[in-house]
Chains A and B, each alone.
Chain A
Amino acid sequence: MAGGSQPHDAAVGSPAPKQMGRATVDTLKTGCIAMVEKDGKPRRAEILSVRDVKSGRQFYCNFDNFNKRLDEWVPAARIDFSQDVEWPSPEKPKETKKASAPVAKKTVTQKKAQKRPARTREASIASEASTPHPWTEFVESQKATPDPEEEKLTLAMDLDASPGADDDDPMDVDDAVTNAISAKNEPPEQFSREEEIEKLRVGGSMTQNQAEISRIRNISKVQFGKYDLFPWYFSPYPEVFTQEDLMYICEFCLLYYGDLKSFTRHRQKCTLQHPPGNEIYRDDYVSFFEVDGRRQRTWCRNLCLLSKMFLDHKTLYYDVDPFLFYVMTSRDEKGFHLVGYFSKEKESADGYNVACILTLPQFQRKGYGRLLIQFSYELSKIECKLGSPEKPLSDLGLLSYRQYWTENLVEILLRYNAEESGKDRTSIDQLSQELSMTTLDVEQTLQALQMQVYHKGEHKIIIPTYLIKKHEAMLEKQKTKPKRTIDPSRIQWKPPVFTASTRTWGW
């Protein structure tokens, strides 16, 4: 999928003049795009912020086509000053370029066109502003952010939408920028920001709002239980913690401390040893707790703050009351340790069965994610509902869900395939019912796996050989090392019912 679109995109870029030129440590400023060493290789990166520390000047870089979690503070030594740097271009009308936008971007362009009148009006307002903003359109989107400092921080940092990963062709840059803008400009329009906040008020936990997403990581290191965590994204912990080298978080009540003495004192007094809710599942490996956001407001807020450090699109704009938190823990002699969780709206208008889902970094890649996902579907099964995770998914979320969906679909489809003829047929509806997945998810997974074909006037499902092999390998592996799964019979849970009075998180 990715490979196909790359050359196409690269071919279009209209080489608009870009201010190029050498830079020094002192002149390099926010908004510049320079070549920065990443993992031993030079890579295009945008400077999002500059700071002076004892060891010298550091630049906060967002690397081209890398997820923001890989953004980092880079010392001047890693920046290649022997190459030209792209300077943030001053005010520039982009309309012409948009008109010649590639066909592939048609939908985006059209949508933009509809909004254009409003934007041009704003652009004129923006031009009156004293400070010349480099990327006008993006600035417009930041109108909702009145604080100028904040604006600077979040300014012009969206290169991750540019196409090819390995194309270092500078000619392509402009196109990349255009794409980034056209792709990203849509949501943060002032109107749509209000709309989004309004939408969030009645439900949901994810945002696509750039003003919220495009923030520089503010916490550098967290001590959590036995582990040191390195946050990936911004999280609105009290601002004083941004100055701390290390933040301490109590493993059980999730309270946060900048001062070691305070944290030690807290640990001497804290009696919590498991999430403050009811245990609804227990096997010899993990336990699940159900925690009500309304009842356990402090704990759930703390959990959200913690998870925000690892979830880019999560928003903490509104309070936690309308959510239930299903917390997965592992047990040892110290208590039930937080491993991961997913939150779920008490009443989801869109039929989501998961709002946010996270496995803490120290437990990632151990199969916990699929347990969380499976548990969310088991709950949906008990509710007799079809469920789907709230969008947008993160990259890791998409991979986990794809994997879960694929494994389960392949298993069921192989079962159907093994049936004698006549019974070896199924439908999307049937699959969806069996897995408590929405039909859309089933459909799209089948398509993504290229299993859905139209052959001889009939729709057919074809299980590719590599998936069968993978499935067999998994079965083989399970003989020696059984896969961890959720045993539905151990779930002690009834779908909670909320009366009018308990539902007054209100809107």
Chain B
Amino acid sequence: MSRQVRVRKLNKSTSQQVYREDEIDSAEYKALLNQASYSVESGVEKSEEKEYHLQAALAASSAADKDAEKEIPAPPAELSSDIDYDALYTLVFDKPATYIRFSQTVEETRGCQYDMTTEDDAFLRAYNQKRPVGSKCSEDDFEKIMEVYEETADVQAPFASVDGTVIPYDVMRSALKQQVDEKIQEFAKDVYDHWRASRQKSGNHPLQPTLKFEKNQEKDDGDPYVCFRRRDIRQTRKTRQRDMQSTDKLKKLRKELEEGRQLIAMTLTRELTKREVLKVDRSIFEQRAKVKEAKVRLGIKTDDEDLINQRVSEGPLGTVSTADRQAPQKRKPTDITQFQRPPGAPLRIPGRSDGRPLDADLILLTDLLAQKENMLHVEIEEKAAQHRKWNQGHVDLTREPLSPVDRQGLETGFRPATAQYQYLMTPPSSVTSESFDQPSPTQENPEPFVFRHSSPPEEDQPQGQPAYRRRIGRNGRLWIDRRGMSSKSKFVDESGSDRWKYDQDDDDEQSVYELDPYDTKALRFRATIPLPPHLLPQRGRQDSAAAQLTRPLGTSPANNRAIAATQQPRAPT
């Protein structure tokens, strides 16, 4: 078959346009169809693929004409004419509202495994006619007995049909004794005779037709009636390791069974104890009733406190030793089980605790609130820290950059200068250095972050309490902003202060004190100046900030004074 066109291979993932037949030229479509010759696998076996009715039906479904015979003829099923369906299927089904879950097997639902036949029926009728009225053998009894016979025969002589073994009555009787009521055993002998006769008639095969299962590999293979063969189980190699595994499994099983047994035993003990407790309670109640009666009779008028169960909350708890207190949950069950527990047997402590420990503290709302707030703080700090981390090493080279986010660090806020005096009055020790953090304003009242568009920030706050803050300016310069500091310096206009900004030499020179060195204020301030940071290496940033504060104070005349401090590496918090 030669094709006019070389067809590109159709890939499964090839995207294909979908058309309706009327969307393309019909002549073209016809041509295309002729040209495409696919061999379609139908999935039906080759020899059956050509069957007349199948082909007719396939042709009918793929053709437009509706007259074509579409159905494959098959022997029909019909409604049974000679059947009393309702008599056979008597049970009425009550549909549950939920989906059915069911795991019983056929054997469990069919009742007695033996179903009597017409011959059995004839025998039983004849037999019952001979019996006195009071002791007739019912069909159920008969089947029960037959079931035992068949079962016993099957177990004791599985190859009866081959070797002709007939289980003697004595054996059957002993089996019967275990399995059926005393009452119906009077029929046993007669039914046995019938059973025996029936068995003989059928060549000592089981009386009920059974499927043929495999018996002999070679002979069975071609027998169409042999079905449901076992798929032979793969032989597992016997190794030492496998032996060990089996041993371990058995041990584990043994242990688990033993544990289960003990659990049951303990449950029994517990329930017995509960019963004891109830009994005692009852007797107490009765005794109290007597007491009350006596009281009424004798006219004793006291409160009836002793007649009701006192709460044992205070008394015993007060005397409980700390060791006991550590295991308050264990106490109760051990106390109860101890007196009947067999010695040596391991005690399993129930995993479930019976509520909170007795001496558990009340949970206070304030604690919860504090905890919540703490968590909030922590979170905010974390976020802030993260922002700092992102911004670390960021150098803004634009001319007039956005200032960093306000209150970038803990130290960015103005902190009241006065507040620190109190702490700093005594020479600070390394231990107390942490305390600076706590009163810091950023922590006390975190304000929402605000971007500011001009640097330096405008001072809109009224000048009142002296305060200062540290911030990082362009090129990493460190700024100390002071506010409300009383200073002798006169008003300096912006241009003037600006001039100083770039005067870097200033730092190295000793400038003139503009303050009166004997001013008490200045003296007091100087006294507060902590040691320089290099002398206190373990000090945190707070102190170094404070230390830097001294220099501009001492050197610069201006309130807003830039310090070209050697870039202090900002330790990531």
Contact = CB atoms under 8 A, between A and B. Distances in A.
B44 A417 contact: no
A221 to B, nearest CB: 10
A67 B226 CA distance: 25
Contact of A389 (B22, B41, B43): B43
Interface stretch (A21-29, A90-98, A318-326, A339-347): A318-326
Interface in B19-47: 19-22, 24, 28-29, 32-33, 35-36, 38, 40-47
Interface string A233-259: 010111111000000000101111111
A264 interface: yes
A66 interface: yes
A485 B466 CA distance: 82
Nearest to A146: B222
Interface stretch (A47-55, A120-128, A359-367): A359-367
B36 A454 contact: yes
Nearest to A439: B12
A65 B55 CA distance: 10
A261 B17 contact: no
Given A259-B117, A361-B76, A425-B17, A452 B63 contact: no
Nearest to A147: B222
B254 interface: no
A429 B115 CA distance: 56
A462 B105 contact: no
13 contacts: A2-B55, A165-B51, A215-B224, A269-B111, A270-B109, A296-B105, A316-B228, A424-B18, A425-B18, A428-B14, A444-B41, A460-B17, A461-B16
Interface in A246-293: 251, 253-274, 276-280, 282, 289
Nearest to A335: B93
A212 B101 contact: no
A215 B225 CA distance: 11
Interface in B214-268: 218-219, 221-234
Interface string B80-104: 1101010011111101000111111
Complex A-B, nearest 6 residue pairs according to Cβ-Cβ distance, in ascending order: A269-B111, A165-B52, A238-B209, A2-B55, A161-B47, A506-B233
Contact of A236 (B38, B92, B95, B224): B224
B20 A463 contact: yes
Interface in B161-219: 208-212, 218-219
Contacts of B55: 1-2, 165
A263 B54 CA distance: 38
Contact of A462 (B29, B50, B52, B106): B29
Contacts of A5: 50
Interface residues of B, number: 109
Contact of B42 (A211, A241, A396, A398): A398
Contact of A271 (B44, B61, B111): B111
B212 A65 contact: no
Given A208-B45, A277-B102, A393-B42, 17 more contacts: A2-B59, A67-B53, A150-B222, A183-B46, A227-B80, A267-B89, A277-B103, A278-B102, A297-B105, A318-B231, A319-B231, A395-B53, A398-B54, A414-B20, A428-B12, A461-B16, A466-B63
A226 B79 contact: yes
Interface stretch (B66-74, B269-277, B475-483): B66-74
Contacts of B104: 272, 276
Contacts of A502: none
A427 interface: yes
Contacts of B95: 331
Contacts of A237: 209, 211
B424 interface: no
Interface string A434-467: 0000010001100111101111011111111110
B48 interface: yes
A486 interface: no
A408 interface: no
A145 interface: yes
B97 to A, nearest CB: 10
A334 B63 contact: no
A274 B61 contact: no
B112 interface: yes
A48 B55 CA distance: 24
B231 A201 contact: yes
Contacts of A18: none
Nearest to B15: A425
B8 interface: yes
B467 interface: no
B15 A453 contact: no
B91 A334 contact: yes
B381 to A, nearest CB: 46
A271 B91 contact: yes
B80 A289 contact: no
B18 A319 contact: no
Contacts of B77: 227-230, 360-362
A191 interface: no
Contact of B32 (A259, A276, A455): A455
Contact of A223 (B53, B83, B116, B118): B83
Interface stretch (A78-86, A130-138, A298-306): A298-306
A144 interface: yes
Contacts of B50: 2, 5, 65, 160-163
Given A165-B55, A230-B77, A468 B42 contact: no
A391 interface: yes
B48 A67 contact: yes
A266 B54 CA distance: 41
Contacts of B91: 271, 273, 334-335
A461 B18 CA distance: 5
A425 B13 CA distance: 11
A261 B125 CA distance: 13
Given A226-B79, A229-B77, A459 B47 contact: no
Name the residue among B53, B139, B224 with the largest chain A CB count within 10 angstroms.
B224
